[in-house]
Amino acid sequence: MSLESLLAQRKKNIVRKWFDLVVETYPEDTLKFLKSQKDPFANPVGNTTIRGLRALFDELLSEMNYETVTTFLDPIIRIRAVQDFSPSQATGFVLSLKKIIRENIENEIYENQMINNLLQLESKIDELSLIAFNIYMKCREKIYQLKANEAGKRTFSAFKRAGLIAEIPEDETDLNNL
C-alpha cells in the first residue's frame, strides 16, 4: 500500500484534526462557534477553512499544482491576515499537518518502510507553508497600503478644511508673475 492511498483512506480523520488545530488558534467563543455551526452562510470562516483544507490535502496527495493550491489556500490566509494573528500564527497551521500525519500513520510508516515517501510529502508541506507565507505577506502589504492611503486622505482633508491648502487656478500658469 502506498503512502498516498493510506492517507487517502484516513483523509476525513486527518482533515478534521487539521481543522481543529486551525480553529484552536481563535478565542474560546469563536472556537466553539466555528466547530459547531455547520451552516456555510452562518459560518463562512469555518466553511471556507474546512473546504480549503480538504482540497489542500487532496493536492498534497497528488501533483500539487501551484495555481490550485493557491486557489484554496488564499481564502484561508486572507481571512487570517485581517485578524490579529502574527505571521507564524496565521500560516503555522500548514506545518501542523506534519504532526497530524505522523500521529495518524506512525505504525504503518515503519512497517511498510514509507519513510522516504513521508519525507517527500513533508517537503510538499514545507512548500505549501512557503506559499501560505507569501500570500499572507501580500495581504498584509495591501492592508498597510490601504491604511496609508486612508491616512493621507484624512490629512489632506483636514488641511483643506483648515485652509492650509489652496488650489492653483489653471489660467494663472505663468509663475514669473507670482
CA–CA separation, 127 and 64 (whole Å): 10
Q: Residue-wise over 60-78: b if at least 16 C-beta within 10 A, else e?
A: bbeebeeeebeebbbbbbb
Q: What is the mean pLDDT of each run of 10 residues along the chain (178 residues)?
A: 91 96 89 83 89 96 93 95 91 96 90 90 96 95 88 85 74 59
Helix residue spans in 82-114 (DSSP H)? 87-91, 93-111
Give the pLDDT confidence score for residue 50 in this predicted structure. 94
Domain range list for the chain: 3-139
Q: Output phi, psi for 16, to 5 deg.
A: -60, -45
Give the pLDDT confidence score for residue 172 in this predicted structure. 55
Q: Model-level pTM greater than 0.85?
A: no
Give the pLDDT confidence score for residue 152 in this predicted structure. 87
